[in-house]
Amino acid sequence: MTTPIIQPEEGYPIAAIATPVGIGALAVVRISGKGVFDIAQKVFRKKNNPAFRFAQSKGFRAHFGTVHDSEGLIDEVVALVFRAPHSFTKEDMVEFSCHGGPVVVKHILKVLLDGGCRLAEPGEFTRRAFLNGRIDLLQAEAIGEMIHARTESAFRTAVTQMQGSLSLRLDTMRRALLRSCAMLELELDFSEEEVEFQSRTQLQQELREMQEELARLVDSYQHGRILKEGVATVIAGKPNAGKSTLLNALLGEERSIVSHQPGTTRDYIEECFIHDKTLFRLTDTAGLREGGEEIEHEGIRRSYRKISEADLILYLLDISLDEFLDEVPPIREFLECYSNACLIVVANKIDLTRESAERLQQLLAATGCDVCAIAAARGEGLERLRQLMSIMAEGLHKQQEASVLVTSLRHYEALRNASDALANAQELISRHAETELIAFELRSALDYVGEITGKVVSEEIVNLIFERFCIGK
């Protein structure tokens, strides 16, 4: 199990530009850590008040003045003071709002670095907020997700997580587990006297309730993942069916190479688009066929991997070919093998046949699937396809109506492990197993739950989480 816990850093003063690179009305450069008031003092002069001292300023105060380097004035700024522990990092902080030109901002950053700060690493401000106990790991991750949210619903979910609703549930669970663990361990201290401080019936009941709660959270992951990452939608089918043409048409740009040669797409291509407030992560894959050479083989292997991970499969076929019914067995196979995903059969190239209605009917009867007819190259039928995709996505969403959603694979895995440990504990209790074994399972459930909020977590995981942030956050 992971060992606790990373010690809070010493609070070496760090500096970073907190706003995006480029030209804007304003930009913010922030510093945090020990001695930042002295560093700010070296470079800042308050308007009409030469006696002003950051060290004596109250928190949450804005001071208007100028920033200088050895050669003179750099910019007029507003310096905002936060006094520990009432700041984002719980350390002393100053934020300089300056004019938003890239050169100005870099100059201000440079004087602060020359003054004694070091450049902050990606996510280091948020990391300090976590290490200093201002937020837990879940909330820190939610901040990252909120910044990267591409749809309104992903944003809302991240905000809920940031406010700590999932943290609260997990903490309650953790406390209950801790209590039971303590009782069992107390029994161990008196093992010769065969006392039972923790009623086994009551413990069984409590563990069952916790496991149900964990199961609900685990189940919410599919929905949460779709909100965050989009509906994983894979366009599959034989070579030349028009998969790349369809990807381009749905995106409205020439993203994937189209050619009349079968086997054009080798590696898969992934792009996102939003329709009707739903984010779709669309993947164009290599056409599925026997034979071909080595690179194409690898492409096809990757296609199957993507198909196996899909929420929604668009199975594309060329309806203008006389042998279009040859596609029925592979479609049936898809339905069987990838039953976790939704499937839409998309009949392409209707512009090339006069019998499209008749053929579609045959296809519908033979597969029993939702069939959509299009001419991807001309953009015909795409609106109906998009509608059908949205309806399918709504079905995926509605499968889960939990108020708290799990959106991260890391949390999902820890919750599943915790749930497994609770199942083991219950099994042991019903077999009247030794207290030691039951306590061991409860401890590991406790550790898994603690991993999520960061109560018990390895430095490696913390590093992985904060690496994905941008500098200045």
Q: Residues interacting with ligand GTP, by CB under 6 A? A: 239-245, 258-260, 262-265, 286-287, 348-349, 351-352, 375-377
Distance CA 324, CA 130 (A): 58
Please tell me the distance from the alpha carbon of residue 57 to that of residue 44, in angstroms, as a whole number.
13
Q: Which is nearer to ligand GTP, 378 or 468 (CB)?
A: 378
Contacted by 263, from Mg ion, ligand GTP, none: CB < 5 to 8 Å by type: ligand GTP
Q: What is the CA radius of gyration of the chain?
A: 29
Where residue 277 falls (left for φ over 0; alpha for ψ -120 to 50; beta otherwise) is left
Which entry of Mg ion, ligand GTP, none binds 245, CB below 5 to 8 A by partner kind? ligand GTP
Query: Which amino acid, one-letter code, is at 429?
Result: I
Q: Cβ(240)–Cβ(260) under 8 Å?
A: yes
Pick from ligand GTP, Mg ion, none: which does 472 bind, CB < 5 to 8 A by kind?
none
Nearer residue to Mg ion within complex by CB, 147 or 352: 352
Q: How far apart are CA 414 and CA 136, in angstroms?
A: 16
The CB-of-390 to Mg ion minimum distance in angstroms stands at 24
Alpha carbon of 197 to those of 181, 202, 396, 435, 449: distances in Å? 11, 11, 46, 11, 24
Q: Is the separation of the CB atoms in 200 and 438 below 8 Å?
A: no
Which of the choices Mg ion, ligand GTP, none does residue 450 contact, using the CB cut-off of 5 to 8 A by kind?
none
Output the smallest distance, CB 225 to Mg ion, in A. 27
In whole angstroms, the minimum distance from the beta carbon of 349 to ligand GTP comes to: 4
Q: If DSSP codes are grouped into helix, strand and coil, which group holds residue 256? A: coil
Q: Which CB, 310 or 446, lies closer to Mg ion?
A: 310
Q: What are phi and psi of 433, to 5 degrees?
A: -70, 170
How far is it, in rounded angstroms, from Cα 207 to Cα 418? 11
Minimum CB separation from ligand GTP for residue 262, in Å? Answer: 5
Q: What residues make contact with Mg ion under the rule CB under 5 A?
A: 243-244, 264-265
Distance CA 130, CA 134 (A): 6
Closer by beta carbon to ligand GTP, 143 or else 376: 376
Q: Which helix or strand (DSSP H or E) is residue 282 part of? A: strand 278-284
> Which CB atom, from 240 or from 419, has the smaller least distance to Mg ion?
240
Q: In whole angstroms, how far apart are CA 196 and each of 185, 188, 390, 421, 445?
A: 11, 10, 56, 21, 21
The option from Mg ion, ligand GTP, none interacting with 352 (CB < 5 to 8 A, set by class) reads: ligand GTP
Which residue's structure tokens are 């739950």? 449
Nearer to ligand GTP, 236 or 421 (CB): 236
Q: Which is nearer to ligand GTP, 126 or 348 (CB)?
A: 348
CB of 348 to ligand GTP, least distance (A): 5
Tell me the C-alpha distance between 333 and 367, whole Å.
10
CB of 338 to ligand GTP, least distance (A): 19
Least distance (Å) between residue 249 CB and ligand GTP: 8
Q: 399 contacts which partner out of ligand GTP, Mg ion, none, CB within 5 to 8 A by kind?
A: none
Can you read off the two tokens belonging to residue 30? 């922030």
**Of 28 and 236, which has the nearer Cβ to ligand GTP?**
236
Of ligand GTP, Mg ion, none, which one sits near residue 363, judging by CB under 5 to 8 A according to partner kind? none
When CB distances are held under 5 to 8 angstroms depending on the partner's kind, the choice from Mg ion, ligand GTP, none that residue 458 binds is none
Helix (H, G, I), strand (E, B) or coil at 414: helix
CB of 349 to Mg ion, least distance (A): 14
